[in-house]
Homo-oligomer: A and B are copies of this chain.
Amino acid sequence: MAGEAVTEAKGGGVGGGGVADEFIVAPNPGDPALSAPVSGIDHTGARVETRVVQERALTLYLNAQEVVTMMTIGDHPDLLAVGYLLNQNMLRADDVIKGIDHDDDLGVVVVRTKRATNYEDKMKKKVRTSGCAQGTVFGDVMEHFETVSLPRDAKLKTSWLYALTKKINTAPSLYLTAGAIHGCVLCEGDRPLVYMEDVGRHNAVDKIAGWMFMNGADPANKIFYTTGRLTSEMVIKTVMMGIPILVSRSGFTAWGVELAKQAGLTLIGRARGKRFLAVAGEDRIEFDADASYDEGEDKKHRRKGAGDD
């Protein structure tokens, strides 16, 4: 399935050389549109120059309907738009997209579907979710959530987990360049396929959902890695995407754990160095790596929490 994805993949900004070659879509920290130079003073009073990530308003329309205005770093607006609509259950798996128009100057993206849509009423009922969240989850998302059944035979080898986190943490990224950004990575086995970053973690998730839809990727054999916390909203999105395994370097919320158990999702958090904690779907984990000691993470690539919220 990854093969299919490869052949159809949109060219992401793949950093040249080494680990980055494994990615179908990788961050493009060199893109001047994604970060900006800022001048300030440090703790000694010395003048310093640094780079910070961009944050732009993007208004999403589904056909004639204005849906939401998102704050985003601005890359992959087409995938963000499609992924948002999918994760909000406003776009169905069998929907045919006639076109996606993006106007960078206006900060507008329009998704046109063959099926007529009308979410006037749906737009009225919103739930504000936790942390770096969607901001809104529509009522019927939960109804859909309860109907999803995740593949039992999917597995996660601990050797894959250690290889993935190392490749992800060492890949060139906006996080390493400018910090204050979240990352989500769609993985298969020990290979990271699609690495998306955004100022809103929910956007990074949605961009991956959009990429999967546009590339017909099979969720059943995928592993989803995120830098963010495992809240109810993160668990709901992963299940909505049909991915059986969710891994984060961050912690859990009680409802996130409860929903993961309910959906049969393998939920792994606090994954740092060789350490991790699995609190749901542990049976999918295959302990094939030596975890008797924790080598930790080298300082350069450790996320210092600049991705907070």
Binding site for B on A (CB under 8 A): 35-36, 38-45, 48, 50, 52-57, 68-72, 126-136, 158, 178-180, 182, 199-201, 227-233, 248-257, 269-270, 272, 274-280, 282, 285, 287, 291-292, 294, 303-309
In the complex, chain B residues whose CB is within 8 Å of the CB of A233: 71
Main secondary structure of the interface of A (DSSP, over half): mixed
Is there an interface contact between B41 and A256, defined as CB atoms closer than 8 Å? no
A264 to B258, CA, bound (A): 45
Chain B proximity of A141: nearest CB distance (Å) = 13
Q: This chain: how many copies in the complex?
A: 2
User: For A256, what are the chain B residues with a Cβ–Cβ distance below 8 Å?
Assistant: 52, 55
CA distance A287 to B22 in the complex (A): 47
A131 to chain B, nearest CB (A): 4
A278 touches B130 (CB 8 A): no
Residue from B38, B251, B276 in contact with A43 in the complex, judged by beta carbons closer than 8 Å: B276
Contact B71 A279 (CB under 8 A): no
Could you list 13 A-B pairs, sorted by A, with CB under 8 Å? A41-B278, A43-B158, A43-B275, A55-B130, A126-B136, A128-B136, A132-B133, A179-B250, A180-B252, A180-B269, A250-B309, A305-B305, A308-B308
